[in-house]
Amino acid sequence: MPSGKPNHRVRTLIDQATIEARVAELAADIDRDYEGSEGLIAIGVLKGSVFFFTDLVKRLRMPLAIDFFQTTSYGAGTTAGEVRIKRDIDLSVRGKDVLLVEDIVDTGWTLRTILDLFRFRGARSVRLCALLDKHEAREAEVPIDYCGFRIGREFVVGYGLDYGERYRNLPYIGVVEFLEEGQQQ
Ligand code: IMP
Ligand code: MG
């Protein structure tokens, strides 16, 4: 473990029960919209969406396949043309309905890139489901078909989201608050 006093603390923003209830609502909306669809592929964007993805997909009733996609971006933030594929999906999306499941849409470049890629590969439809929408930070236009919660520009962790790989296992979503020197944790 790193030594020294932590320079931040985590304040609860969305508690576990609120997340659970919203995930159930999103699943009901998705079930309704995809009724009759035979070829749905639910694709989780690693690693941040992993808990949201499994909670959501377990509630869906239509037949579906699952797959995972992982990206990286270089530099401090995500920028246009800098989203790289770290792990591609195994399945073919040609002729299939794709539901992309992401933890958070920030600048939008990650999802914009994946969305365009799956369309290029011949998916019949591509829809997005994002747990969190940081809409004020948007740079690339991304239509979110199913959105859990809209939040501000704050940096959030938990329920899959990390700060330097920490806090992914928190069962709730919290805001990282950075502390001044000497401030209580
Ligand atoms: P984008 O800027 O929309 O391309 O988002 C890129 C990725 O940055 C997201 O999928 C998250 O993994 C990560 N990210 C953006 N905002 C936050 C945050 O507040 N906490 C943790 N990860 C974040
Ligand atoms: Mg992500």
Catalytic residue among 55, 103, 106, 133: 106
For ligand 2, the distance from its centroid to the CA atom of residue 163, given in whole angstroms, is 12
Q: Mean pLDDT per 10-residue run, the chain (185 residues)? A: 76 98 98 90 97 98 96 70 90 97 95 95 97 95 97 96 96 94 68
pLDDT at 83: 87
| Residues 6 or more apart in contact with residue 30 via CB below 8 angstroms | 56, 60, 99, 129, 146
Enumerate the H helices of the chain as residue ranges. 16-33, 50-59, 109-120
pLDDT at 16: 98
In ligand 1, the atom with minimum distance to the C-alpha of 105 is 3
- Is the bond preceding 134 in cis, omega lying within 30 degrees of 0? no
User: pTM of this prediction?
Assistant: 0.93
- Per-residue pLDDT tens over the stretch 75-87: 666 666 688 899 9
pLDDT at 105: 96
For ligand 2, the distance from its centroid to the CA atom of residue 161, given in whole angstroms, is 8
pLDDT at 31: 96
- Which residue's CA is minimally distant from atom 19 of ligand 1? 155
In ligand 1, the atom with minimum distance to the C-alpha of 45 is 10
pLDDT at 60: 96
For ligand 2, the distance from its centroid to the CA atom of residue 46, given in whole angstroms, is 6
